[in-house]
Amino acid sequence: MLLTEQALVGLRLRGQQVQAAVTVFGDEVRRRSDAGLGAVDGRALLTALYDLPVGLPIPLGSLDAYALRVLHAAPPGVVDIGIGENPASAVRRLVPATRVELVLVHGPDGIPPREWDSAVRDASQFAPFCARGVVVSKSTESEHGDKPASPDHVPDPQPHPDLDLLLLKARFYGVGVATQSPRGLRWLLEPAPYRPQRHSPAQWLFHEQAWRQLGPDWS
């Protein structure tokens, strides 16, 4: 399976420079744009919002004092407080504007063998948030035999035998392994499907941090 680099965007997430595949939710982007609202990546605010249903009034009396202070300080477009038919209520408007589907970790020249363990660990930290993988360097590839490629067919590189240990470790942690091919990134091992154990404000914060870097003009 090939993954074209045009489908990826460079982001800095959790202290690492990565490539990511991202889904953007146009309705929420337009709603935020109309409200003059960009990314919302305040941890306290997202935590307070996380327990509120979207679009349904919640009595202010059911919220603790700290949550009320945080919600009152929210920028326009995040939550309506004391508006409409229920003046003693709060209505959450904010939903995620984007979702990071996949993160790929690699260095400027790929990942040499001595750094494979570190690369798998670096990719593994994204397990609570999305699918994840590593990109190995061209130095770990070998070509198809001695036959020259025909002009209309460029063969995919074959994995080097030394990749076996990396693939074994990566499979154990659910981390995909990709290598560069002339037509794009080629999976040697596809990442495990993302199945979160639970949902949390930290996951929402992760996606908002991605959206802050992308911005409303990204497409």
Question: pLDDT of 187-203, one tens digit each?
Answer: 999 999 999 878 899 99
Nearest CA among 192, 190, 162 for reference residue 178: 190
Amino acid 125: pLDDT: 94
Q: How confident is the model at residue 142, as a pLDDT?
A: 46
How far from the centroid of its chain's Cα atoms is residue 99's Cα?
6
Q: Residue 113: helix, strand or coil by DSSP?
A: helix
Report the predicted TM-score, pTM, of the whole model to 2 decimal places. 0.83
- What is the per-residue pLDDT for 149? 33
Give the chain's residues under pLDDT 70. 1-6, 84, 107-114, 138-162, 219
Short-list 133, 105, 128, 120, CA closest to 11:
105
Q: How far is CA 65 from CA 58, 70, 77, 94, in A?
A: 14, 9, 21, 21
| Alpha-carbon torsion, ordered 118, 19, 198, 65, to 10 deg | 110
